[in-house]
Structure 1
Amino acid sequence: MKEVLQSPLFGIVLSVLAFQVGLFFNKKTGSPLCNPLLIAVALIIAVIKIFHIPLEWYQKGGDVIAIFLAPATACLALSIYGQIKQLKRHLLPVVAGCFMGSCASVISVIALCRLFGLDETMTASLIPKSVTTPIAMELSAQGGGVPAFTVAAVIFTGILGAITAPLLVKLLRVKEPVEKGVAIGTCSHAIGTTKAMEMGELEGAMSGISIGVAGIATVIICLFL
């Protein structure tokens, strides 16, 4: 049994099954609170804790899944290409929106970290919370942060964005698809983009392009910190 748990296959199978359970509950309830990724994370943590499985054993399979993170993000380019005319029409607002959203994210993190007395290491780890994981980890490492904390913050931010995006769109009465997509992609990267795609093709495309633009904007902003 120990050999099975130490195999990369264990982490892969556990991740897939947990996500499928999350999808099942999401479809059954239709509630944004039943986010498949959130449920999957909770189930995986529960299994590891209950059966006292070392995190390193699960991580062997998790690392295999992580290899597909960058290619999966790059696949968003397909939806962007399908909306290339709309992107050209709204290029300046998209870039401006992403840049301002990135500024708001970075400034709010710094302000809150100082308010709650967090040290420079934790601040550096949280600053790139709203950009896609590969960029966030690199920014965290270069800024003196802890990439592991950054990954946790990125995942939490993305899940929070995916859960709250539909509610905020209704509450703030945002009607324009481009506005919805840019806002979601800028603040909650790829995880939020999955929710934007459910809203519509244009929303998904704008959210997808915002991931890259917001990532570049955050890198530029961090050069001046």
Structure 2
Amino acid sequence: MESLLQSPLLWMTVTLVCYEAGFWLHRRCKEPVLVPPMLISLTLLVSVLVCAQVDYMQYFQANQFIHFLLGTSTVALAVPLYQSLARLKAAALPLSLVLVIGSVLGAGVALGLAVLSQLSHTSVLAFATRAVTTPMALGIAEKIHAPLALASAIVIVSGLVGAIVAEPLLKFVKHDMAKGFALGIAAHGVGTARALQISPVAGAFAALGMSLNGILTALWLPTFVHWCFT
């Protein structure tokens, strides 16, 4: 039994089954806006891991292949972005301004709230990674010595919350480019998935916002954290 619980194939299968089950339950429940399918999938997966008493690092090691695909799928989002290259050039200046503001506020607000809440030092460091997508967040977490499990959980939960909150906030925004870029910066991977449901243009600019925000944050955040918290 112990060898079965340590099998990478088992946890890859469990992950995929929980993912599909979450979307199936979401459709069966008439697709409630406040309960996205990823939240259902995550709840199912965490429940299985808790019942099986499997820690995060064991689960993470077993899903290295899925983690690799997560990075490659992020790169693949450049395809719809290339198709919207003309729009990107026309809006380069305002997008750059929004990117800088979003990067600073995304990480800065999370850090500030964590400090004001008097969380532990490691928890504060984990919250610093909140604003970027999971592969980049784990890389930043390693650099600033934040716990990988907590950083990953914070990124996923914040992405889900961001995608839920963005629905009513962006209701009156007319341009798909603006919707997508905002979703990509605020809710990274989950926001990009939601943007792709809106339109290919929204998905392309969500991918752009998520990628550039991750790169920019990775450039300044580790230095800022080491300067302020060490």
Unaligned runs of 5+ in 2: 226-230
Task: Indicate the percent of aligned positions where both proteins have the same amino acid.
Answer: 28
Greater Cα offset, 143-152 or 199-208: 143-152
For the Cα contact (< 8 Å) 1:21–1:40, is it kept in 2? yes
- Name the TM-score, length of structure 1 as normaliser: 0.89
Q: Aligned partners of 1:186, 1:73: CA distance in 2, in Å?
A: 14
Q: Deviations over 1:168-224 (max 9, x none)?
A: 212xx2222221111110111112100011111111111100112111221233234
Counterpart in the other structure of 2:105: 104
Distance 1:187 1:80, change over 3 A: same
Please give the alpha-carbon distance, in whole angstroms, between the structure 1 residues aligned to 2:133 and 2:14.
Answer: 24
What corresponds to 1:35 in structure 2? 36
Partner of 2:169: 168
Stretch of structure 1 that moved more, 109-118 or 201-210: 109-118
In the alignment, what sits opposite 1:83?
84
Q: Which whole-Å deviations, capped at 9, do the CAs of 1:111-145 have from their partners, x for residues lacking one?
A: 21221112433222111211122221222222232
Q: Structure 1 residues 13 and 122, CA, compared in 2 at 3 Å: closer, same or farther? A: same
User: How much does 1:107 deviate?
Assistant: 2.0
Instruction: Measure, in 2, the Cα distance between the counterparts of 1:108 and 1:174.
Output: 24
Q: Which runs of 5+ in 1 are unaligned?
A: none
Give the aligned partner of residue 213 of structure 2. 214
User: Following TM superposition, by how much is the alpha carbon of 1:10 offset from its aligned partner in structure 2, in angstroms?
Assistant: 0.8
1:67 is paired with a residue of what secondary structure? helix
Bigger shift: 27-36 or 62-71? 27-36
Cα distance in 1 for residues equivalent to 2:161 and 2:39: 9
Give the alignment's TM-score, normalised by structure 2.
0.88
5 Å-filtered alignment, 1:53-68, equals 53-55=53-55, 58-68=59-69
What's the offset of the Cα at 1:33?
2.7
Cα distance in structure 1, aligned partners of 2:43 and 2:99: 31
Distance 1:60 1:215, change over 3 A: closer
Aligned match of 2:139? 138
Secondary structure, aligned partner of 2:63: helix
- Runs of 4+ aligned structure 1 residues displaced above 6 Å come to none
How far the C-alpha of 1:97 sits from its partner, in A, is 0.8
Task: Tell me how far apart the structure 2 counterparts of residues 149 and 33 of structure 1 sit (CA, whole Å).
Answer: 23
Deviation at 1:87, TM superposition (A): 0.9
What aligned pairs does 1:174-193 form with structure 2 within 5 A after superposition?
Answer: 174-193=173-192
Whole-angstrom CA distance in 1 between matches of 2:149 and 2:54: 16
What count of residue pairs does the alignment treat as equivalent? 222
Shift of 1:57: 5.7
Q: In structure 1, what is the Cα distance between the partners aligned to 2:193 and 2:7?
A: 30
The CA distance in 1 between the partners of 2:3 and 2:122, in whole Å, is 37
- Number of the residue aligned with 1:23: 23
Q: What is the root-mean-square deviation of aligned Cα atoms in Å?
A: 1.9
Call closer, same or farther: CA 1:119–1:205 in 2, change over 3 Å: same
